[in-house]
Structure 1
Amino acid sequence: MQTLLSQKFTAYVGIDWADIKHDVCLQVAGETRRHFSVIDHTPQSIDRWAKSLFERYGAPIAIALELNKGPLVAALQKYEFFCLFPINPSTLAKHRKTFIGSGAKDDPTDAQWALELLLTYPLRFPQLMPQSPAMRVLASLTEHRRALVNERVRMGNRLICTLKQYYPLALELFSDHDTVMFCDFLMCWPTLDHIQRSRQSAFLKFFNEHNARRSQLNQARWEIISKAIPLTQDPGVIRPSQLYATALASQLKGLLAIIKDFDREIEETANTLADYPIFKALPGAGQHLAPRLMVAFGEQRDRFNDASAMQRYAGIAPVTQRSGKKKLVYWRYQCSTFLRQTFVEWAAHSITQSTWAEAYYRQQRAKGCSYQATLRGLAFKWIRIVYRCWKTSTVYDEKAYLQALIRRGSTLIEIPMEEASG
């Protein structure tokens, strides 16, 4: 992992970014004078500015900025003579507040504060080293997919809430309310009156076309429909709700199709990366979480010095604060929510797929730990295991790990050695 001290730069730049323009503070190597300027957020302006710096000062040039991804980072990474050093926005804000008690803030001075932090504490800010194009594509795909899944949940909840107001029978007929079949049903029969006026043959044909051919279940559904009475007959409720439910069902169906497209793209991209077998073999990771776990660790083996660094980066390790005889352990807020969510979700899935994970879960719950605290503790343990697999490029072996637990006399496993060895 490269830092500012490991290289010699011809110039140092601090940037305060914005949507329309970026404030720049520049200091030439060996000088103390600082120069301020503004560049527009357009490809042409950024290109002219970058090339002019290279013509005047040569390479390499160190740039301190408040983000590690986004349009400005993508634009600057095109130039090989730039070395980017991200600085956490909260770090910059606290540094500014230390010297400006009034809380005054200005973009040019923020660029200067970023530059000053980089020059004063060079070991604190490692250089941004981009992953391979395939890994960056996978990282964006997994984040966008998760956003789409969140939107699917929100849209599904709105649809359920709407149906409860005028058409609760539709919810009773289906156990899953976020499927293409459920959406098609609502678009075909958006009210109780529509479904009760339809023929049984058309009703059964619908389920056959959607590969739901359980005749007894479909017959029971039809009997429920025949005996159903409307929740309300008020046209002021039914007609607006019908239009809204149909619109939501149409949007939800489209969203489900898009998520499937993302799943295919993620699987194809993940299979091109050499480390994918390591994460695909993890218990409970599956098609959706294995790519996310691989993105979390990345490709650069020197990215984390040890497993604890990864635990802190993922937000799984708690924060400990000591002062005299006082000790506080609390939730880590400065981390990626998406990253922490990845490990916690995987820990939950691993309980039914890993012997020792299930034993740990039961032990912690028996001690009175909450469900979420237990999952975070399990994720904490898993990260140490996966970190070792990742560093050594070794696929996780459940039987080998169980044997190691038995040799250490761990309370997590209480099976004979011959059973663990298969």
Structure 2
Amino acid sequence: MKPRHRAPCRPHHDVEVQDEAGQVLKRVRLPEGMAGISRFHELVARFVAEDAEPSDVLVCIETDRGPWVRALRAAGYRVFGVDPKQAARYREILSSSGAKSDKGDAHALADMLRTRRRQLREVAGDSEVAEAVKVVTRAHQTLLWERTRHMLRLRVALRDYFPAALETFKPLGLTSEAVLKLLAKAPTPASAAKLTISQISAALKGRRDIAGKAEAIQQVLRGEHLGQADLVTAAYAASVRALVAVITTLNTEIKTLEGEVEAHFGRHPDAEIMLSQPGLGAVLGARVLAEFGDAPGRYACAKARKNYAGTSPITRQSGKMRTVHARFVHNDRLVDALHLQASCAILHDREVRAYYDQLRARDVGHNAALRQVGNRLVGILHGCLKTRTHYDQTTAWSHRSQDLAA
């Protein structure tokens, strides 16, 4: 007997219990929190033998994290997390009418676990340290993405009413402290034209050639440029002040969270191995660790880790036609981290650069080459974690030397 469970984004959980033959034994709706999980344990006890082990109970749930998942795993149940898109596709197999309900979703998950268990991924038992690293790294990256969104809004606003500021400040970085200070002090063309060399220099503190940069900025801001009517300019200035305030706050919190990322990552036993990999620093290494997780045995081989990372290609074949494509369904955060790792690695590791150049010589595009570099680096990381050894350039790329010698 295998209880199945579904946890939608609502303050309740629809549960369906099925036996091995697919017969529905019980349907029930449970509340959130301790009351719900207690009733779930009571429900399980009604349908399992007295001498049954907790691992005999299989639970299918439409998420892989959260208090309920943690409580279910703590009880010893085997928990399988299903991607919502995967669940939706299976629901279409069971019914072509398009009807949808929480009760129907619970039935679909129960049937999926009974018939396609081998195709589902069991929720990994990551360590508490790895879970903590994931929390802070995801929060840090989310704030970075939010800052980019606000920066793009700021750029659009400046382009529409203050193109001189965009031309002047863009090389400095619109999210830099210097630019934010100047925009906060002078958000309109008229006020910016009144900025003195000393005011601009104070904002540029810590940069090279402050005098030269300050003079160039002042010269551009005091030139003649196209603009908007005074009333419209004042409205734009109000929106820019708000954006500047938001980005300034984000900068502060990003810096704070970066310290938390480094602190939590430093506590993990795999931190030194991750940092030995080409292209990985503390923040990027923490992201890779967090998204891969550290549950023992989660990846049976390097190929399994590459497939999860989304760096390995997929093959589509129909008759005599055979094509190879990049994977479009993947963990966006992990793919982003591995892309950044490959970009950094080709600049600092000669063997990685040689592999990249070899791909480019075969007319492989830049992004496709970086994806293949990232795929190779994932395999190297898997080997290092499996053998508990640091990255060694000679060992990792020995096959290339053998191929050249041959």
TM-score normalised by length of structure 2: 0.88
Relative to structure 1, the CA distance from residue 52 to residue 29 in structure 2 (aligned partners, 3 Å threshold; closer, same or farther) is farther
The unaligned stretches of length 5 or more in structure 1 are 1-9, 412-422
Where do residues 20-169 of structure 1 align in structure 2 (5 Å cutoff)? Answer: 20-27=11-18, 32-40=23-31, 42-53=32-43, 56=46, 57=48, 60=54, 61-70=57-66, 72-74=68-70, 76-77=72-73, 79-169=74-164
- Equivalent residue of 2:30, what SS? strand
Where do residues 10-409 of structure 1 align in structure 2 (5 Å cutoff)? Answer: 11-15=2-6, 17-27=8-18, 32-40=23-31, 42-53=32-43, 56=46, 57=48, 60=54, 61-70=57-66, 72-74=68-70, 76-77=72-73, 79-174=74-169, 175=171, 176-207=173-204, 210-212=205-207, 214-221=209-216, 223-225=218-220, 227-232=222-227, 234-402=229-397, 405-409=400-404
Displacement of 1:385 in angstroms is: 1.3
Displacement of 1:125 in angstroms is: 3.1
Q: Is the 8 A contact 1:16 1:110 kept in 2?
A: no
Q: Is the 8 A contact 1:195 1:225 kept in 2?
A: no
Displacement of 1:198 in angstroms is: 4.1
Displacement of 1:212 in angstroms is: 3.2
Distance in 1 of aligned mates of 2:120 and 2:401: 42
Distance in 2 of aligned mates of 1:226 and 1:125: 60
Relative to structure 1, the CA distance from residue 95 to residue 251 in structure 2 (aligned partners, 3 Å threshold; closer, same or farther) is closer
Relative to structure 1, the CA distance from residue 91 to residue 286 in structure 2 (aligned partners, 3 Å threshold; closer, same or farther) is same
Q: Is the 8 A contact 1:13 1:25 kept in 2?
A: yes
Paired amino acid for 2:43: L
Relative to structure 1, the CA distance from residue 410 to residue 236 in structure 2 (aligned partners, 3 Å threshold; closer, same or farther) is farther
- Equivalent residue of 1:352, what SS? helix
Pick which of 153-162 and 279-288 moved more: 279-288
CA offset digits 1:33-79 (Å, max 9, x no partner): 51111113x314323323423654565132111221245434544x4
Distance in 2 of aligned mates of 1:198 and 1:383: 51
Q: Is the 8 A contact 2:168 2:217 kept in 1?
A: no
Distance in 2 of aligned mates of 1:373 and 1:85: 33
Displacement of 1:116 in angstroms is: 2.3
Paired amino acid for 1:50: F
Paired amino acid for 2:185: C
Distance in 1 of aligned mates of 2:352 and 2:177: 35
CA offset digits 1:59-111 (Å, max 9, x no partner): 5132111221245434544x424331223334433333333233333322321
Q: Is the 8 A contact 1:13 1:115 kept in 2?
A: yes
TM-score normalised by length of structure 1: 0.85
Q: Is the 8 A contact 2:302 2:379 kept in 1?
A: yes
- Equivalent residue of 2:404, what SS? coil
Displacement of 1:16 in angstroms is: 5.2
CA offset digits 1:305-341 (Å, max 9, x no partner): 1111111111111221223322232232332122222
Distance in 1 of aligned mates of 2:35 and 2:384: 45
Distance in 1 of aligned mates of 2:20 and 2:96: 30
Distance in 2 of aligned mates of 1:310 and 1:370: 24
CA offset digits 1:193-241 (Å, max 9, x no partner): 223334433443343xx32363432442355157422433611321011
- Equivalent residue of 1:351, what SS? helix
Distance in 1 of aligned mates of 2:280 and 2:85: 33
Corresponding pairs, count: 398
Displacement of 1:392 in angstroms is: 0.6
Distance in 2 of aligned mates of 1:81 and 1:15: 18
- Equivalent residue of 2:93, what SS? helix
CA offset digits 1:233-276 (Å, max 9, x no partner): 61132101111111111110111111111110000000001101
The unaligned stretches of length 5 or more in structure 2 are none
Aligned-pair identity (%): 24
Relative to structure 1, the CA distance from residue 196 to residue 403 in structure 2 (aligned partners, 3 Å threshold; closer, same or farther) is same
Distance in 2 of aligned mates of 1:325 and 1:225: 63
- Equivalent residue of 2:122, what SS? coil
Relative to structure 1, the CA distance from residue 400 to residue 48 in structure 2 (aligned partners, 3 Å threshold; closer, same or farther) is closer
Relative to structure 1, the CA distance from residue 316 to residue 302 in structure 2 (aligned partners, 3 Å threshold; closer, same or farther) is same
Q: How big is the alpha-carbon RMSD for the aligned residues of Structure 1 and Structure 2?
A: 2.6
CA offset digits 1:147-183 (Å, max 9, x no partner): 2111111111111111122223323333211112211
- Equivalent residue of 1:294, what SS? helix
- Equivalent residue of 2:330, what SS? coil
- Equivalent residue of 2:64, what SS? coil
Distance in 2 of aligned mates of 1:187 and 1:96: 53
Displacement of 1:145 in angstroms is: 1.8
Distance in 1 of aligned mates of 2:202 and 2:230: 30
Paired amino acid for 1:249: V
